[in-house]
Chain A
Amino acid sequence: MTHCSDDELLLEYYGEESGSTTHRLVCAECTARYRALKQMLDDVTLEPPERDDRYGLEVWQAIRHRLPARESRWHAMLTPRWGLAAAAALLLAVGFTAGRLWPRVDPTAPPSMALSTPNAVAVSATADDEARRRVVLLTINDHFDRSDGVLAEVMNAGSPRDLSAEQQRAADLVAASRLYRRNAVVINEPAMAAVLEEVERVLLDIVHQPPQATAADLDAIRRRIDAAGLLFKVRVMTNELQHRLEQPSSAPPTSTSTIG
């Protein structure tokens, strides 16, 4: 009788075609050898350390400056090449809009929103007032951080559940977001304004859900957050803002973009 070879037993263990099984099943010696092999290999395990959901952001931050330069939408938006003329035109438009909207501004809004007054627009429009720019960036950074909290809560919520607490926080954030977005445009941070707008739309979605969200409701919002990579974008922005706020000048990077 020809017994199974070790290699045949190994192939059988891995579920590969081996031709040994028929013999092995009727042969006590080969079955014993197979069991020994199985016991040995079952003990060989390697569980990788866990990486949390911020790992993608960490990898991105580590490699983004090492990627070959290519044009990207965010890059274009974050560099001065965007054009002084365009910026000036935008500031004029924003100044006009801010002037028209000013009487409707919520008086309970945070202090930094005072930048939306026509005078403040004019001051920040010169881009000389670094202190004011930093205040705007700080408040936006805080806003992103709080938005991250709400979005993460929704992403991780067991379903179905009562969303009223998140909805209240989302409503507060939406009210503030409109002004922050305007301020971001005023200080020439269009990429930031774009992300604020995306976050605002999803926060509005959350606000408009029934308080007792069904599994389907939650799934729909999660899909939207996920499809836009929104949590990730918010974290990239927060990370970038923190980095910039630690620097002497908080102006946008000129050579390499935040995200592209």
Chain B
Amino acid sequence: MGLGDVAAVLAKASGGDGEAFALLVNSHARTAFRLAYRLTGNERDAEDVVQESFIRAYRQLSRFEARSNFATWLHRIVVNCAMDSLRGRQVRRERLADPVEDMPDVAASDCPSPERLAMSDEIRRRVDASMAELTPQERVAFALRHYEGRSIDEIGRTLGVQTSAAKHAVFRAVKKIRVALEPLRSTP
């Protein structure tokens, strides 16, 4: 979709045109899923976050400013929905003391290549475990910085916190991940 097309579709969608909104969903769903997956770490939650994000976007479309970038606006909504999902997960975990729920999917590979795969699986397992221990803010800040390449300033704005708070959230996250991976470093 070109820029002019996006503006026209947005104008129609803001006016309640479901067809236009469907086109926006179609254009942005895959990007939203990639982001949601990186923030939540598992497919099921990512799917829920994507759906919830588009529903929120539809409800708030009248507040969207035409001059803004829809992708940027949606990005923020996905981050907020992912934060809510992670908070919900944290609350459930505290209630049920069920760490299993937080273990993200470990994708099965069709072509196992012995040691390298075993090592990367172990890294992934440890990273997943340490990520599950992060607060929602630490996790999201780390994912945005590390996987999405967003600047600390940008992360602060997205999360609605000071830059220093965003920075320290990333620091704490990396420290925890580092502790989890440290034993692998000493492995010959």
On A, residues with C-beta under 8 Å from B are 6-7, 10-11, 14, 16, 36-37, 40-41, 43-44, 46, 48-49, 51, 53, 55-60, 62-64, 66-68, 70-75, 223, 226-227, 229, 232-233, 236, 257, 259-260
Contacts and interface: CB of A to CB of B under 8 A. Distances in A.
B59 A48 contact: no
Given A36-B185, A46-B147, A229-B22, A68 B58 contact: yes
Contacts of B29: 51, 55-56, 58-60
A60 B25 contact: yes
Chain A: interface secondary structure? helix
Given A51-B30, A66-B55, A74 B19 contact: yes
A46 B55 contact: no
Contacts of B123: 43-44
Contacts of A44: 123, 127, 146, 177, 181
A59 B25 contact: yes
SS class of chain B's interface: helix, strand, loop or mixed? helix
A62 B26 CA distance: 12
B58 A48 contact: no
B152 A16 contact: yes
Which of B21, B151, B167, B181 has the largest number of chain A CB atoms within 10 A? Answer: B21
Given A41-B146, A63-B51, A227-B1, A51 B23 contact: no
B171 A40 contact: no
Interface stretch (B37-45, B76-84, B87-95): B37-45
Contacts, number: 121
- From B19, B58, B145, name the one whose CB has the most chain A CB atoms within 10 angstroms: B19
Contacts of A16: 151-152
B50 interface: yes
Interface in B116-133: 120, 123, 127
24 contacts: A14-B145, A14-B170, A16-B152, A40-B185, A41-B174, A44-B123, A44-B181, A46-B38, A48-B33, A49-B43, A53-B30, A56-B25, A56-B29, A59-B25, A59-B54, A62-B51, A63-B54, A67-B58, A71-B16, A74-B19, A223-B2, A232-B22, A232-B26, A260-B21
Nearest to A7: B171
B38 A48 contact: yes
Q: Which of B16, B34, B51 has the most CB of A within 10 A?
A: B16
A57 B177 contact: no
Contacts of A259: 18-19, 22
Given A59-B50, A60-B26, A229-B23, A72 B16 contact: yes
A259 B58 CA distance: 13
Given A63-B55, A66-B55, A226-B1, A73 B19 contact: yes
A143 B160 CA distance: 50
A51 B54 CA distance: 17
Q: Which 10 pairs of residues, A with B, have the shortest CB-CB distance?
A: A260-B18, A56-B26, A70-B16, A72-B18, A48-B37, A229-B23, A56-B29, A232-B26, A59-B29, A48-B34
